[in-house]
Amino acid sequence: MKHTTPFFYSSFACTASNCSDSCCIDWEIDIDQKTASYYHTLSKKEDFSFGKRLKEEISYQDIPHFILTPNERCPFLNHQNLCDIYIHLGEKHLCEICTQHPRFHEWFGDYKESGLGLCCEEAARLLLSSPEPLTFRTTVIEEEEDKTPFDKVLLDQLLCLRKEMFTLLQDRTKTFSSRLSSLLFLAEQAQQQLDNGDLPFSFSQTSSFSSFDTNLVENLDLLLCFLQTLEPIDLGWPDRLSCIQKELPVLLSNREQFLSALHERMYEYEHLCVYFLYRYLLKATWDEDILSRVKFAIFSVSIIFLLGLCDFSKNRRYSLLDQIQNTKAYSKEIEYCDENLESVLEQSWNLPAFSTAALMDLISALF
């Protein structure tokens, strides 16, 4: 099987207690059936002292899961933010979610793609630290072919389209604003051709749209209002969005200074956009929805930019660590809640602030 990953994929290692956050806090953690059966067997051994905790702190009903503490911590996360299951049973006996996180995978027959999700700050650090264009590696691995039916012709076309998008986004002879505009233009072309059954894709010269003169502040207000309707993971998240919403005119007046301070670091937003396209665009193989995923990538980069603009306006500085924390916060709220992610993709077709005109003006005004 062919296996594609970002160049830094194999470098990932959990930072455990050195992480400022923990993937073992605020999350419901399900346990795969094989591991749950093993834990259940150990829990019945009266001479095994750790078995009592495996019995009392895991629910084996329906979908097995860890019973979170009143402060939303995994019961096996100790006071040093280390995993007691890892300590007592070893890494090989962690459940599947704990072993895999923050890795993600997508299978298409004998082709597989993997990456690292950005709700993990170490994954975000690996993505954002290097100024070099993000590259990917394809190797051959020993893994059984996935038997789920899919449209191989469409997959091949989407791979070509995504490569074209990566090339466009990483052309640093052009402004980031013009690259995002061209990306949206290309996505509109591709969606129209796919809807009309015109494959293979034919890519015409991409160019930026001119301004549509939509109401920027009003559209941003709508987007921020929409985000606040979603179920928060971190209870402080809606307050952050509300603060940005209230201070939009002031924040936008600081945009030029923020861009100047980030002049040598705009590649971070380039990397983010490439990441969102890498992770989500090929899913159009299943539902033929290209445009919403490109809009989602542009929207995501824009919200992360606004989070940074807000921090810069308060502190007059914005470090790589700040960028990592904001990226993690956004990813945690949107990417790691299926309902929230689906809502964003759905509203990219319905909400006026997600229209091509509104997004083009948003790109022009922010970047």
- Decide if 307 contacts 339 (C-beta within 8 A): no
Cα distance between residue 340 and residue 345, in whole Å: 9
- Can you give the pLDDT at residue 214? 65
Cα distance between residue 64 and residue 33, in whole Å: 7
Neighbours of 192 (CB within 10 A): 12
Distances (CA, A) of 174 to 86, 131, 284, 333: 48, 16, 28, 31
- Can you give the pLDDT at residue 209? 55
Element (H, E) at 226: helix 216-228
Q: Name the band, by pLDDT with cuts 50, 70 and 90, for residue 16.
A: confident
Neighbours of 263 (CB within 10 A): 7
pLDDT at 19 over 90: no
Quote the pTM value: 0.92
Helix/strand/coil (H, E, C) string of 119-139? Answer: CCHHHHHHHHCCCCCCCEEEE
- Can you give the pLDDT at residue 362? 95
Q: 163-218: per-residue pLDDT in tens?
A: 999 999 999 999 999 999 999 999 999 999 999 999 999 877 655 555 555 688 99
Please give the average per-residue pLDDT across 83-95, as a whole number. 93
- Decide if 351 contacts 222 (C-beta within 8 A): yes
Minimum mean pLDDT among 19-23, 295-299, 339-343: which range?
A: 19-23
Task: Retrieve residue 263's tokens.
Answer: 């002049």
Neighbours of 231 (CB within 10 A): 10
- Can you give the pLDDT at residue 27? 79
Please give the average per-residue pLDDT across 70-74, as a whole number. 91
Phi, psi of 302 (to 5 degrees): -65, -40
